[in-house]
Amino acid sequence: MSEYKTLDGSNEVELNDRKDRDLKWYVVHTYSGHENKVKTTIENTVKNRGMEDIIEQVIVPTEDVVTTTKTGKEKVSQRKIFPSYVIIKMEMTDESWYIVRNTKGVTGFVGPGSKPVALTVDEVKAMGIELPTSKIVSGEIDLNPGDTVKVISGAFVDNIGEVEDVNIEKKEVKVYVNAFGRKALVTLGLENIEKV
């Protein structure tokens, strides 16, 4: 939401984001290993140009992988779910296309020729990246380490897990879930879980 002052400066009026926006998810191919650099560069460019209403979100989907070392210690590392790809929620305009396409490390949008193809709703849901705003309540979040939660969307849907850590700023929670017969620590968005 944007805040605007009236002409006399006495009141502040809040206006909702433009209602005519056509935000869709697009997949961008990058050089191998450049995913995070591309994400940061696009986010900085968007912020500098004040285009937050056109390019809303840039993500590099990752998951936490728990491996056991030779000494028997568990090591948690992040693995990119789609190596060499960045997923962007944006309105496709000439300017937004130009900014993304000409970012260092980007090889192009996914789609035939030079025409980017947006992900379908089913594809977005299958990736677990759609963020339903109705489930995130600003203000207090009643989650603490040790709480039991159920995963309601994404790759670990219907799993019951234990909260390890809550990051309110990033709207993320680290949860231990049973995956492949083992206990794995995964990072999920708050919109992907519900308290049991």
For domain 20-130, say whether CATH 3.30.70.940 is its number: yes
Q: 142-195, pLDDT tens digit by residue? A: 788 888 999 888 778 888 888 888 887 778 888 888 876 788 888 888 888 888
pTM score above 0.75: no
SS3 letters for the chain? CEEEECCCCCCEEEECCCCCCCEEEEEEEECCCCHHHHHHHHHHHHHHHCCCCCEEEEECCEEEEEEECCCCCEEEEEEECCCCEEEEEEECCHHHHHHHHCCCCEEEECCCCCCCCECCHHHHHHHCCCCCHHHCCCCCCCCCCCCEEEECCCCCCCCEEEEEEEECCCCEEEEEEEECCEEEEEEEEHHHEEEC
Architecture of the domain delimited by 131-196: Roll (2.30)
